[in-house]
A and B are shown apart, each in its own frame.
Chain A
Amino acid sequence: MSSNVIIKIENVKKTYTKSHALRGVTFSMNAGEEYLIRGASGSGKSTLLYLLGGLDRPTEGKVIVNQKNLVELSDEDLALYRNRYVGFVFQFHFLLSSMNCMDNILLPGRLGGLESEEVVARAKQLAKLLNVEHCLEKYPYELSGGEQQRINIIRALSLKPKLLLCDEPTGNLDSENSQKVIQLLRSLAKEFGATLVVVTHDPQIAQSFTNQLVMKDGLLITQ
Chain B
Amino acid sequence: MKPTNNFRIFLTLFLDVTTKKFLIGVWVGLAFSIAVILSTVGIMDGFERALRHGLKKSSGDITMKYANGFFTVNERLKNELKEANVKDYSPMVETESFLIFNDESRGVQIKAISPEYGKIVGIPLDLPSHSVGIGSEIARINKVGIGDEIVLAFGKGGDEFKNMPTLKRFKVAQIIHHGVFQKDARIVYARLDEIQSLMALANRVNIIAFNIDRTNLHSGNDLQAIESRLTDLRMRFEPEFYFKPYWREYGSLIEAVQAEKVLISLILQLIVVISVFNVLAFIYFINEKKSKELFLFKALGLSRRSMNNLWIKLVILIWVASSVLAVVFVQLFRFMLLKLPFFELPAEVYHMPRIDIYLSAYDYLMVFALALLWMLLITYYLLRKLRNKSLLEGLRQEFA
Contacts and interface: CB of A to CB of B under 8 A. Distances in A.
A51 to B, nearest CB: 10
Nearest to B290: A96
A40 interface: no
Interface string B256-296: 00000000000000000000000000000000000011011
B299 A55 contact: yes
Interface in B288-323: 292-293, 295-306
B12 A53 contact: no
Contact of B300 (A75, A107, A115): A107
Contacts of A1: none
A113 B295 CA distance: 19
A174 interface: no
Contact of B299 (A16, A82, A115): A82
Contact of B301 (A50, A83, A90, A97): A83
Given A88-B300, A111-B301, A98 B393 contact: no
Interface in B35-53: none
A216 interface: no
Given A94-B293, A98-B15, A113 B1 contact: yes
Given A55-B298, A80-B301, A96-B296, A111 B393 contact: no
A76 interface: yes
Contacts of B15: 98
Contacts of B6: 110-111
Q: Size range of the interface on A?
A: 20 to 34
B303 A111 contact: no
Contact of A79 (B296, B302, B391, B393): B302
Nearest to A79: B303
Contacts of B13: 98
A44 to B, nearest CB: 12
A91 to B, nearest CB: 8
Nearest to B14: A98
Contact of A108 (B2, B300, B305, B399): B300
Contact of B392 (A55, A111, A113): A55
A143 B320 CA distance: 39
Nearest to A99: B12
Contacts of A50: 392
A16 B9 contact: no
Given A16-B390, A98-B15, A99-B12, A75 B293 contact: no
Interface residues of B, number: 28
Contacts of B160: none
B9 A92 contact: no
Given A94-B292, A99-B12, A75 B305 contact: yes
A113 B293 CA distance: 19
Nearest to A85: B301
B103 interface: no
A76 B298 CA distance: 11
Nearest to B9: A110
B249 interface: no
A199 B160 CA distance: 121
A79 B2 CA distance: 14
A78 interface: yes
A49 to B, nearest CB: 11
A84 interface: yes
B292 A79 contact: no
B252 interface: no
A47 B1 CA distance: 28
B215 interface: no
B299 A56 contact: no
B5 interface: yes
Nearest to A84: B301
A96 B16 CA distance: 11
A16 B393 contact: yes
13 contacts: A50-B392, A55-B298, A79-B303, A80-B301, A82-B299, A83-B300, A88-B300, A92-B399, A98-B16, A107-B9, A107-B300, A110-B5, A111-B300
Instruction: Pick the 10 closest A-B CB pairs, nearest first.
Output: A83-B301, A79-B303, A98-B12, A113-B2, A94-B296, A108-B300, A98-B15, A113-B1, A76-B303, A75-B303
Interface of B: 1-2, 5-6, 9, 12-13, 15-16, 292-293, 295-306, 390-393, 399
